[in-house]
Structure 1
Amino acid sequence: MTVYHFVGIKGTGMSALAQILHDMNYEVQGSDIEKHVFTEKALEARNIKILPFSKENIKEGLTIIAGNAYPDTHEEIVEAVNIGLPVVRYHRFLGDFIQKYTSVAITGVHGKTSTTGLLSHVIKGAEPSSFLIGDGTGSGVPNSKYFVFEACEYRRHFLSYNPDYAIMTNIDFDHPDYFTNIQDVFSAFQDMALKVKKGIIACGDDEQLQQIQAKVPVVYYGFGDDNDFQARNVVKSTEGTTFDVFVRNTFYANFTITSYGDHSVLNALSVIALCHYEDIDVEIIQQRLQTFEGVKRRFNEKKIGDQILIDDYAHHPTEINATIDAARQKYPDRDIVAVFQPHTFTRTQSFLGEFAESLQRADHIYLCDIFGSARENVGKLSIDHLLEKIDNSHLINEEDTTVLKKHDRAVLVFMGAGDIQKYQQAYEKVLV
Structure 2
Amino acid sequence: MKLEDIHSVYFVGIGGIGMSAIARWFNQRGVAVGGYDRVETPLTTRMSLEGMWIHYVDDRKAIKPQFLNPESTLVVYTPAVPASHGELKFFQKKGFIVKKRSEVLGMISRGHYTIAVGGTHGKTTTSSMVAHLLNQSAQKCSAFVGGIMANYDTNMLVADKEAPVVVEADEFDRSFHRLSPNYSIVTSVDPDHLDIYGTEEEMKKAFGHFLQLSGEEGKTLIHYKAAEKVNMHLEHLYYTYGIDAGDVQAKALRAVNGTFIFNYKGKEVIKDLKLSVPGFHNVENAVAAVTVALDMGMDPEVIKEGIASYRGVKRRFEYVIKEDKFTFIDDYAHHPTEISAFLRSVKALFPKKKLTAVFQPHLYSRTKDFQKGFAESLSLADEIILLDIYPAREEPIPGISSRVIFDQIFKEPKTLCEKSELMDVIKEKDVELLCTIGAGNIDMEVPKLKAHFLKHFDIEA
- Normalised by the length of structure 1, the TM-score is 0.92
Summarize deviations over 1:247-276 as a string: whole Å, max 9, x none. Answer: 26x744442111222211110011111112
The partner residue of 1:161 within 176, 179, 189 is 179
Pairing 1:181-196 to 2, within 5 Å after superposition:
181-196=199-214
117, 120, 129: which is aligned to 2:141?
129
- Give the distance between the partners of 1:253 and 1:17, measured in 2 at CA: 37
Partner of 1:322: 341
* Helix, strand or coil at the partner of 2:434: strand
Residue number in structure 2 paired with 1:32: 37
Q: Choose from 377, 381, 394 the match for 2:415.
A: 394
Partner secondary structure for residue 353 of structure 2:
coil
Matches of 2:190 and 2:292 in 1, distance apart?
Answer: 22
Question: Which residue of structure 2 aligns with residue 412 of structure 1?
Answer: 434
Provide the C-alpha distance between the structure 2 equivalents of 1:224 and 1:66, rounded to a whole number of angstroms: 42
Counterpart of 1:360 (choices 379, 384, 387) is 379
Deviation at 1:200, TM superposition (A): 0.8
SS at match of 1:401: helix
| Conserved 8 A contact 1:163-1:195 | yes
> How far apart are the structure 2 equivalents of 1:366 and 1:144?
49
Q: CA deviation at 1:98?
A: 1.5
- CA shift in 2, pair 1:300/1:367, >3 Å: same
Q: CA deviation at 1:388?
A: 2.0
Matched, 1:174 2:185: no
Cα distance per residue 1:84-134 (max 9 Å; x no partner): 332222211110111222111110001111111111111111122111111
Which ranges in structure 1 are unaligned for 5 or more consecutive residues? none
Q: Which residue of 1 aligns with 2:247?
A: 228
Alpha carbons 1:202, 1:209 under 8 Å: kept: no
- Report the counterpart of residue 449 of structure 2 in structure 1: 427
CA displacement at 1:144 relative to structure 2:
4.6
Q: Does the CA contact (< 8 Å) of 1:307 and 1:408 recur in 2?
A: no
Structure 1 residues 384 and 92: CA distance shift in structure 2, 3 A:
closer
Match of 2:294 in 1: 276
Query: Structure 2: how far apart are the matches of 1:185 and 1:204?
Result: 17
Q: Aligned partners of 2:166, 2:319: CA distance in 1, in Å?
A: 26
Contact 2:110 2:179 (C-alpha < 8 Å) held by counterparts: no
Are positions 1:213 and 2:234 aligned together? yes
Q: What does residue range 105-124 of structure 1 map to in structure 2 within 5 Å?
A: 105-124=116-135
Cα shift at 1:71: 5.1
Note closer, same or farther for the CA distance 1:257–1:304 as it changes in structure 2 (3 Å cut).
closer
Instruction: Give the aligned residue type for 1:221.
Output: Y
Identity of aligned residues (%): 27
Relative to structure 1, the CA distance from residue 42 to residue 148 in structure 2 (aligned partners, 3 Å threshold; closer, same or farther) is farther
Normalised by the length of structure 2, the TM-score is: 0.86
SS of the residue aligned with 2:209? Answer: helix
2:459 counterpart residue number: none
Count matched residues. 428
> 1-side partners of 2:376 and 2:292: how far apart?
34
The one-letter amino acid of 1:44's match is S
Deviates more, 1:104-113 or 1:325-334: 325-334
Match of 2:219 among 199, 202, 210: 199
Contact 2:317 2:330 in 1 (8 A): yes
Show the 5 A alignment for 1:285-296. Answer: 285-296=303-314
Give the Cα–Cα distance (whole angstroms) in 1 for the partners of residues 132 and 370 of structure 2: 34
Residue deviations 1:302-347 (CA, integer Å, cap 9, x gap): 2288432222111111111111122223333322111011112221
Q: Deviations over 1:23-49 (max 9, x none)?
A: 22222222222x223432441341211
Task: Tell me, in whole angstroms, the C-alpha distance in 1 between the residues paired with 2:88 and 2:427.
Answer: 49
Q: Which runs of 5+ in 2 are unaligned?
A: 1-5, 149-154, 456-461
Q: Of 10, 19, 28, which aligns to 1:5? A: 10
Corresponding residue for 1:23?
A: 28
Whole-angstrom distance in 2 between the partners of 1:45 and 1:285 = 34
Name the CA distance, whole Å, in 2 between partners of 1:7 and 1:383.
31
